[in-house]
Amino acid sequence: MVVGEIPEGVDLLVVGGGPGGYTAALAAAQLGRKVVLVDADGPDGLGGVCVNIGCIPSKALIQLACTVHDRSTWAERGAPSQGSQVDMAAFQTWKTSVITKLNRGVRTLLKAADVEIVTGYFRFSRPDQGVVERADGPPRHLQFASCILATGSTPLRLGVLPHDGSRILDSTDLLALTTLPRSAAIVGGGYIGVELGTALAKLGVAVSIVEAEATLLPGIGSGAGDLVAKRLRKLGATVRTSTKVTGDDGHHLALETADGAATLDAEVVVVAVGRSPNTGDLGLDAIGVMPDARGLLTVGPDRLLTPRIAAIGDITAGPALAHKASAEAHVAAEVLSGHRAEFAPSTIAAVVFSDPEVAVTGLSAEDATDAGYLVETAAFPLAASGRAQTLAEDTGYAQWVFDKESGVTLGAQIVGAHATELVSEASLAIEMGANLDDVAGTIHPHPTMSEALSEAALVGLGRPIHVSRRR
């Protein structure tokens, strides 16, 4: 700050307008705070990566792909098929309209809460001060009583695949395409790579997914990853696990496999190997804070970095998920407003919009065993579900992880149609400490996919109805 420069006083400053940032701003305003929100993209960036270039655009693409693919799969069941080509330009127009609607919704909420939105890049200058560099005006020097950092993350890059936005793409580039490539190599078999690869395959693109680990969706469980890989191959995609990318010559990827070197032809290469926290240019040294080796900021259950500064979302440890950031936002707003609160969820569900869909929540059987529980699992196959049969989507299962002695639910894994919607029931059960009797005793409507959770509970209780009793 220039000597003699008098900073503007700010009650509560929020840096970042994504799900964590705008939720924090609204929550703080409800608690009586006067809030200023700074975002690099200003009002147009509200909603962050999730609304503008991530969750929402990708789900729109997935919906398009499913609709196009279902025309052919349902033709054999009596539905009329249409042979027209996919119009990606029309898709982009519709996608943009969805984003605009959601963005304007956030703007309206912030305006109603009297939150001031400032466009620019924020950097700390002192423990209670910072400067916003603006493209459309002079810097604004701010002195804050409280601050919440919610700056999000960006796609990780690979040194062997320099990003150019034309052949070597990230997820943002792919979601903005107005024409489909003939072929695409997806580097990374996590949730982003699997979702994008599945969508492209359903749209007729020749897809190859390359994953360094032994299974797709590593960390979720080989059972789910294997089912997803099987489906991808049925869609015509190639799945290469235990394979690393070592380079690219502009036409072919160089691969390292268990059997030696190989090459892979692809018109475009989509790098989907994770995300990197946006903490590198915040001036953190001015507040006496250093990120760890991964660029993450260390916070406690109160989300505080310093007595007046909190950090939430992708820049803190844990899954980089919008719903985690939103939940942390409430805690940070309350703590910095003088209330007692902590971020201590029993579970944070993770979902993958693959085919079949995958959702997990709570502890895996392995993690529960490591935590000292006497663990059992109980699963119900969707092939035995009447609703799954009528959807023609009977691949997958619903599985509970539970304590053998008490029957208390510890975790759940759901693979199949609408798994991403069903998992919230499992999360609620775990959060409330429900046991299998509670789940099985809750009358689920018929015929619905939700019955799979109560049926799986009955399996665990040794009282299955629609599958044979375990011996």
Tens-level pLDDT at each residue, the chain (471 residues): 454 478 999 999 999 999 999 999 999 999 999 999 999 999 999 999 999 999 999 999 999 999 988 887 776 666 666 666 789 999 999 999 999 999 999 999 999 999 999 999 999 999 999 999 998 889 999 999 999 999 999 999 999 999 999 999 999 999 999 999 999 999 999 999 999 999 999 999 999 999 999 999 998 877 899 999 999 999 999 999 999 999 999 999 999 999 999 999 999 999 999 999 999 999 999 999 999 999 999 999 999 999 999 999 999 999 999 999 999 999 999 999 999 999 999 999 999 999 999 999 999 999 999 999 999 999 999 999 999 999 999 999 999 999 999 999 999 999 999 999 999 999 999 999 999 999 999 999 999 999 999 999 999 999 999 999 765
Q: How buried is 44 (Cβ within 10 angstroms: 0-12 exposed, 13-18 middle, 19+ buried)?
A: middle
Cis preceding linkage at 447, omega within 30? yes
Catalytic, out of 141, 252, 446, 466:
446
Residues in the chain: 471
Q: State how far the Cα of 13 lies from the Cα of 178, in Å rounded to an integer.
A: 38
Domains annotated for the chain, with CATH where assigned, are: 8-154+276-336 (3.50.50.60), 168-271 (3.50.50.60), 350-460 (3.30.390.30)
**Segments of 241-337 assigned E as strands:** 244-248, 252-257, 260-265, 268-271, 275-277, 304-306, 309-311
Please indicate whether residue 446 is annotated as part of the active site.
yes
Q: What is the DSSP string of 305-319?
A: EETTEEE-GGGBSS-
Nearest CA to 228 among 360, 119, 333? 360
Q: State how far the Cα of 175 lies from the Cα of 49, in Å rounded to an integer.
A: 12
In this structure, is the dihedral angle defined by the CA atoms of residues 12, 17, 19 and 20, taken in order, positive or negative? Answer: negative
- Are 26 and 164 in contact by the 8 Å Cβ rule? The answer is no
At how many degrees (to 10) do helices 191-202 and 55-73 cross? 40
